[in-house]
Structure 1
Amino acid sequence: MTEVEIRIPAPASAVFDVLADGWSYTNWVVGASHIRDVDSEWPAPGARIHHSVGPWPLLISDTTVVLAADPPHSLDLEARLWPFGAATIHLELAEVEDGVTAVRMAECASAGLGRFAPEPAQALLLRPRNKESLDRLADLVLGKYRD
């Protein structure tokens, strides 16, 4: 698994609130470009975000499904991108000091051609992308949460 981490000066509940807003997915997930629908149960296990990735007009439509959720501590997702496969993503939130949350994102290819790539090759692509995603997540959290 490729892992990245960031510390956000906000409580874990504030960070999870952004993760729980499926409509904000394209605002922090690098590559996601359009939300078509979000199941009303999001982020309950089995709920889906119906999204598109890529630049217009070359959009590819697919879904991300919640595998497990433990608000405000963790969220496990499977992001699919037909025809390329799927990835499993684990987001873990831990308050490391009062009002500061460490967010760790771990991702690995779980289906399709990507799962055959060695971990160092996956890391070359995923680490910078996921670091940027967590930076965007932090910006959204800080934009909504003020002491």
Structure 2
Amino acid sequence: MTEVSRVIDVPPDAVFDVLADGWLYAGWVVGSSHIRDVDQDWPGVGSRIHHSVGPWPVHIQDETVVTAVQPGLSLSLEARAWPVGAAAVGITLVPHGGGTLVRMTEHVVRGPAKVLPAVLQSLLLKPRNTESLARLADLATGKHSRTKTGHPRP
């Protein structure tokens, strides 16, 4: 299992606000290139984000499904990108001073990529997930600062 973490200088609820907006998924998940639809009950268990993975014109249309959620605390997903496979992704939010320690885990659960040794999976996933958390931090910080200053998103 690959794990990355990052401290984001906003409260856990502000980070979860970004996670709970499925339309922002392609803005922070590296590799997701286009959101086609988001189930109305996102991020409820069983709800889906219908997305494309990869660059046009060779992108794959697939989906990500919520497998567990504790609002403000954690989100567990099954991210699919067939024919490559599917991965279990866990995101936990822990209060850290005035901010949030975000931990993200990922491991392949199905498909051809599952045969890759854990060390190789980690070499591929760690840089991608580190960048994903950097993007999540930017979105959460920007969204929170606009809300805090009374300048909500248009």
Same fold (TM over 0.5): yes
* Secondary structure, counterpart of 1:145 in structure 2: helix
Cα deviation digits, residues 62-98 of structure 1 (max 9, x gap): 000000000100000000111111000000000021x
Q: CA RMSD in A?
A: 0.7
- Quote the residue 1:88 is aligned against: 88
Q: Which residue type is aligned with residue 107 of structure 2?
A: C
Quick one: distance in 2 between partners of 1:72 and 1:36? 25
* Deviation, structure 1 residue 117: 1.2
Cα deviation digits, residues 99-146 of structure 1 (max 9, x gap): 210000000000001111111100100000000000000000111112
- Quote the residue 1:114 is aligned against: 113
Q: Which residue type is aligned with residue 140 of structure 2?
A: V
- Quote the residue 1:131 is aligned against: 130
Mean CA deviation greater in 109-118 or 20-29: 109-118
Could you tell me the TM-score, scaled by structure 2's length? Answer: 0.93
Quick one: distance in 2 between partners of 1:87 and 1:27? 19
Cα deviation digits, residues 32-83 of structure 1 (max 9, x gap): 0000000000000000000001111111100000000001000000001111
Aligned counterparts, 1:8-47, within 5 A: 8-47=8-47
- Quote the residue 2:103 is aligned against: 104
* Secondary structure, counterpart of 1:141 in structure 2: helix
Quick one: distance in 2 between partners of 1:72 and 1:50? 23
Gaps of 5+ in 2: 149-154
Identical amino acids, percent of aligned pairs:
58
Quick one: distance in 2 between partners of 1:101 and 1:44? 22
Mean CA deviation greater in 63-72 or 113-122: 113-122
Quick one: distance in 2 between partners of 1:15 and 1:122? 26
* Deviation, structure 1 residue 3: 0.1
- Quote the residue 2:70 is aligned against: 70
